[in-house]
Chains A and B, each alone.
Chain A
Amino acid sequence: MNKWMIAVLTATLSLSAMAQQDELEELPGYVEFGELKSVYGEPKVMINIGGTLLNFMGAASKHDPEAAALLKNLQGVRINVYSTEGQTGPALEQLTKVKNMLQEQDWEPIVQVRETGEEVQIFMKVDGEAMQGLVVMAVDGDEAVFINIIGMIDPSQLAEVMEQFDVAVDL
């Protein structure tokens, strides 16, 4: 493959990802987690699911109306997971930055756990009776996890869906 083809494909994929990113960035529940790639390298998990695909996933869950309803209202799901390999400093620093930013933007802190070298922060963005966004940040000696769920989230629905998706807590 010549360099032009590579450039075109790279640009194409970047533009495609950028299109989804741009779509999500406009939403009130979107949170920018900042840059940790320069410290930890490429994330071990990076997921960006846009609203369109979530809608189709909901439509495909005909046998589970709750999951379908939840997915239909979700506009985006993002997760970045980095391997910290014992170096939690930069990730904790980034977590604090994001936490301060969320507090400035009127996100509600739900849970904050701090232990030596570990920290978990959960924030919600609430608009009236519904959540617009959920942020979970967890850093320990193994991983730094940044989750952002965007859209109209009904927490009870979310719990039901987790059961339906048969989520295992242990990875």
Chain B
Amino acid sequence: MRRKFQKWVESYQEDVWSLARYLLQDASEAEDETQEAFIKLWNQRKTIDPGRIKPWLLKVTRNACLDRLRRRRHITDVQTGDSHGPVAVAQRDEMGRWLKAAIADLEEPYRSLVVLRDVQQHSYEEVARITDLNMSQVKVYLHRARKQLREQLTEIRP
């Protein structure tokens, strides 16, 4: 079982880390949540369908990150500014960095959907399972999220 677990770590650690990183925008917190997700996986390894380890991990990670964000928002609402907004970020010269910030600024579930589907390239079916949405909801919300990103990009482009 330990060998299997090591394989799961090798295969999924980047996706879990990246999802946590996108959602939390904080490396230290993302590290905590990544660890927590894999600890849960180890503890519940006997009850999880081996064929669904990845969606299970990402779902656990996403839920934990959203919980953390809710708590954090409660504390830092007052400090929320526009530092990640398109105008401010437009002055940055890297498209990638801007996009990461733009994705981070999306509301849920748009943000998770973009990360899971467009960044991590999971199938619609997996995304639906991870986010507890049905397929048509995933498609509709994801299309809206993409549109928002394109519109923001249009705004900052000269």
Direct contact of A and B (CB under 8 A): no
